[in-house]
Structure 1
């Protein structure tokens, strides 16, 4: 809690303009207000995320994502991807979107906690299982890295989906490669060896649970059992 307060204070102090202006405009447009104490959730390359609630209500907290107008297209792609994935129950839920004077804001639900990078083979398998659940519903993520998973009330959810362009098998293979690289981020750069590359290509060519399980098992070999 205290760390979030410091982050928010530093954010406001160092970024009084234009992000505070955008935050104020977004809250007004979407009829929300920031949650006192730990409102600043994260910053990324293309935007900022805040914890908010409906104006004058003490109900569920929401995530307010704001991007500059130059990144509006990227955010609208995320909206489209979330809507397509909504029926899976595996992703954060799109609530609303609004254009502001120099940006775009989106409300998402729920607010969760980021997961830790996997440290055991079982945790590796769990992430690949999450990816399979998306793919089995003909949904691709676009950027399925570990940091793009949150947990809320024991349920893990994907966030920051990217609308994919191109053939589904290619997009599915890209998802598998991105997740593999993300899980192995702490290993030497040559950790994506020939065997792993072959398994990734096999999954792209024939995206079955068995092929993805083989990839998960191979990646999991680099981690201890729990």
Structure 2
């Protein structure tokens, strides 16, 4: 994916956050992921840590590693574009592929936030069943925009739902969103549609065929 595609995805994510009244100018932990060849993984991790990122996960593959890392940043347009360019540049220098970023949504007026009617305590969530449901929704959204069914199914299998004691997140290699508190299926559906929009926006900027 080109830097133009990645920045277009970042722009779409920020726009969706603003639509949700996220306090985008407030710094929060922003999670990133990339895939890097084994031979340059240590050098890239050192470069990321020098830039202020904390690498908290190294997932080994056959010929590469998936690095997951975070840093406190705002997610307004200027800040998000800046950290996207920064990470992409470091990735390119080490032969890595940037998979995208995600962060918690911070409602601008927290006092006005009303808990969704379908809020579920984390310990009562069937994560595997919900993840399967969200993957099916993502495939449906992509197919509705002309993505071949086989490709939509393949892309949807990259979606991951994580539910922990103090919050939850839904993500793909391209982007993601996180929330504090209990799990809400309706909010998760909205996040999946946001992820689909980011994927569709990126694909529309590529040369034909779109997928």
What TM-score do the two structures reach when normalised by structure 2? Answer: 0.34
From the CA coordinates, give the structure whose radius of gyration is larger: 1
Q: Which has the higher contact order (CA 8 A, sep 6+)?
A: 2
What TM-score do the two structures reach when normalised by structure 1? Answer: 0.32
